Structure 1
Amino acid sequence: MQLYNTLSAKERAALIDEAGKDRITISFYQYHNIKNPQIFRDKLFLEWNALDVLGRTYVSYEGINAQISVPSENFFALKEQLDNIVFLKGIRLNVAIEHDNKSFLKLKVKVRNKIVADGLNDETFDVTNKGVHLNAKEFNEMLANPDTVCVDMRNHYESEIGHFNGAITPDVDTFRDSLDIIEADLKNNKEDKNLLMYCTGGIRCEKASAYYKHKGFKNVFQLEGGIIEYTRQVKEKGIENKFIGKNFVFDHRRAEKITDDVIANCHQCGKPCDMHTNCANEACHLLFIQCDECSSTMENTCSTECQDIIQLSFEEQKELRKGKGNSNKIFKKGRSEKLKFKK
């Protein structure tokens, strides 16, 4: 009984090409008390593997957070399978705005302590006492209210390439970093302002809204379904779009274009650009914004030091990495003194 992925990304990519079938990229989440996450995880893997589902999913005692892709022909079979799970019956599936058959190349279903790393002790507040959920039209109306403070609950590298007009975009690396910073910045407006939050698909706002209500914020609102659902409603219902730029996504696409506005800059030369790349030096792997010209000149690396390293043989590069763990510094998103034009 296969309970784990056995193919490399390269092998899976070849199979996708060979199959020639369109795939749909989907995300969804649900907070729910799962008594045995490991058993639930194994059941999901077996059923999803049979449907050729790929992607990254976290399961914990508090629920599920899924980002997956499935062949179009298996979409309704997947939906039926989810509907057979009591707490996922009728769950809204956030369908990607832009499709890429290789958005995911492996099926990973992992048991985690939490489905989002928020650093919060859930026993200290009522996680079910959430903010008011708003659809796209309601969000726009609230955004236009002069008594509203709109906050982007995503990280700096996400909001840098796209955000809502007038939103506060905290310069943070992680979701947990943003919680206390936002509270401190808005401490004098807990009762007289509307706190309006949004994120990619809505999951971060679910926990954050309950946390801020616990912290004394009286009027807390959140965008239902996040930027993904907002964009769908804008297109389907002809609603004015208040989001500019790209929506960062956590798969091989890296972003979905919402508007043609390019609001970021190449971190190396400073020209307008909103394309993320990972440094080609495996010991660095820094995520940063790089234009086509710099990509060609720098060979997809973030610095001349990394460019020199990738000229070495595989064995020489491996030797340089020996004994060095992949610390958080290696994977910092766009945080490096070598990037001259990082905002």
Structure 2
Amino acid sequence: MQLYNKLSAAERAELIEKAGKERLTISFYQYAHIANPQILRDHLFITWNKLEVLGRIYVATEGINAQLSVPAENFLAFKKHLDSIDFLKDIRLNIAIEQDNMSFLKLKVKVRHKIVADGLNDDAFDVTNKGVHLKAQEFNDIIADPNTVLVDMRNHYESEIGHFKGAVTPDVDTFRDSLDIIEEDLKEHKEDKNLVMYCTGGIRCEKASAYYKHKGFKKVYQLEGGIINYMRQVDAEGLENKFIGKNFVFDHRRAERISDDIIANCHQCGKPCDTHVNCANEACHLLFIQCEECAKEMQNCCSTHCAEVNSLPKEEQKALRKGKGNSNDIFKKGRSEVLKYKKNLRG
């Protein structure tokens, strides 16, 4: 019985193109108590593989976090399967604003310690004791209140290309880093201020809201379904859009255009740009913002060194990488001494 993906990304891309089927990019999460994540993981893979689901799914004792794509013609069968699982019945599905048949090229269902790496001791607080969920209109109303502090719970490279107007955007590399910063900044206002949070799809805010309630905050709110669900409601209900720029997403698209505003800059020349790329040098793979002109000049690389390496024959590149492992840059997101125009550079 097949329990793991056996095709390469290139092979899968070719099959998708030949099939000519429209695919839907979807994300969802659910905190729940799962006794045996491995059994659930195998069940999901077997069922979803038959439905041609592709994506990245994490299962843990605390729940599930899924970003995936499914052929539109299989969506109802996929939804029926979700509804057959008690804690996933009628779950909210965030359907991408911009669709791309190549958003995911493999099916990866993995058992993890947590569905979101957060560095928290969850035994110290109840993760289900979450804050108040806000729909788009409620969110717009409360962030207009001067007694509200709006916080972006995403990382620096996400908020750099797009965020809500007036939001606090911590210059952090991880979700865990932002928790302590926000608590310290608002420690004198745990009783009186509205703490309103948002993230991409809601999963980080869900954990953060429970954490801040545990820390004594009395008025804790989160944007239900995150930015993705917000835009769905804005479009459907004709509401005012308070988000500017792009919404960073964790698939091959890298971002969805929300407004025409370009609030970021090319990290190499400084001109207005909000296109994230990965350095073409496989030993680097640094994520950064690059305009078309710099991409051409730098051969899709972050530095002249990487461009020189990337111009070598593939076998020579492999020989250079052999035994060295990946550069630390592969784990960085827009932070490197070679990026001249990166704001708040920390190396």
Listed as ranges, the gaps of 5+ residues in structure 2 are: none
- Partners of 1:133 and 1:127 in 2: how far apart? 15
- Partners of 1:107 and 1:126 in 2: how far apart? 31
Q: CA deviation at 1:325?
A: 2.7
Residue 37 of structure 1 corresponds to 37
- Partners of 1:97 and 1:56 in 2: how far apart? 18
- Is the deviation greater in 55-64 or in 187-196? 187-196
Q: CA deviation at 1:8?
A: 0.5
Q: CA deviation at 1:15?
A: 0.4
Q: CA deviation at 1:158?
A: 0.4
For residues 197-236 of structure 1, what are the structure 2 equivalents within 5 Å?
A: 197-236=197-236
Q: Residue 330 of structure 2: SS of its match in structure 1?
A: coil
- Partners of 2:93 and 2:53 in 1: how far apart? 14
Residue 165 of structure 1 corresponds to 165
Q: CA deviation at 1:72?
A: 0.4
- Partners of 1:104 and 1:311 in 2: how far apart? 28
Residue 124 of structure 1 corresponds to 124
Structure 2 counterpart of 1:241, one-letter code: N
Structure 2 counterpart of 1:170, one-letter code: P
Identity of aligned residues (%): 77
Q: Residue 247 of structure 1: SS of its match in structure 2?
A: strand
Residue 180 of structure 2 corresponds to 180
For residues 302-341 of structure 1, what are the structure 2 equivalents within 5 Å?
A: 302-326=302-326, 328-341=328-341
Structure 2 counterpart of 1:262, one-letter code: I
Q: Which runs of 4+ in 1 moved over 4 A?
A: none
- Is the deviation greater in 101-110 or in 126-135? 126-135
Q: CA deviation at 1:314?
A: 1.4
Q: CA deviation at 1:75?
A: 0.4
- Partners of 2:154 and 2:204 in 1: how far apart? 8
- Partners of 1:326 and 1:32 in 2: how far apart? 35
- Partners of 1:56 and 1:62 in 2: how far apart? 17
| Alignment check: 8 A CA contact 2:61 2:113 kept | yes
For residues 263-278 of structure 1, what are the structure 2 equivalents within 5 Å?
A: 263-278=263-278
- Partners of 1:322 and 1:184 in 2: how far apart? 45
Q: CA deviation at 1:328?
A: 4.7
For residues 87-98 of structure 1, what are the structure 2 equivalents within 5 Å?
A: 87-98=87-98
| Alignment check: 8 A CA contact 2:281 2:309 kept | yes
Listed as ranges, the gaps of 5+ residues in structure 1 are: none
Residue 142 of structure 1 corresponds to 142
Q: Residues 289-337 of structure 1: CA distance to partner in whole angstroms, max 9, x if unpaired?
A: 0000000110100000100101112122112212223365432000001
| Alignment check: 8 A CA contact 2:31 2:128 kept | no
Residue 49 of structure 1 corresponds to 49
Structure 1 counterpart of 2:200, one-letter code: T
Structure 1 counterpart of 2:183, one-letter code: E
Residue 103 of structure 1 corresponds to 103
- TM-score, reference length from structure 2: 0.98
| Alignment check: 8 A CA contact 2:283 2:327 kept | no
Structure 1 counterpart of 2:227, one-letter code: I
Q: Residues 265-305 of structure 1: CA distance to partner in whole angstroms, max 9, x if unpaired?
A: 00000010000000000110000000000001101000001
Q: Residue 331 of structure 2: SS of its match in structure 1?
A: coil
Residue 11 of structure 2 corresponds to 11
Structure 2 counterpart of 1:286, one-letter code: L
- Is the deviation greater in 265-274 or in 185-194? 185-194
| Alignment check: 8 A CA contact 2:298 2:307 kept | yes
Structure 2 counterpart of 1:91, one-letter code: I
Structure 1 counterpart of 2:224, one-letter code: E
- Partners of 2:15 and 2:174 in 1: how far apart? 35
- Partners of 2:184 and 2:318 in 1: how far apart? 44
- TM-score, reference length from structure 1: 0.99
Structure 2 counterpart of 1:169, one-letter code: T
Structure 2 counterpart of 1:99, one-letter code: Q
- Partners of 2:337 and 2:203 in 1: how far apart? 32
- Is the deviation greater in 323-332 or in 196-205? 323-332
- Partners of 1:182 and 1:283 in 2: how far apart? 35
- Partners of 2:326 and 2:107 in 1: how far apart? 23
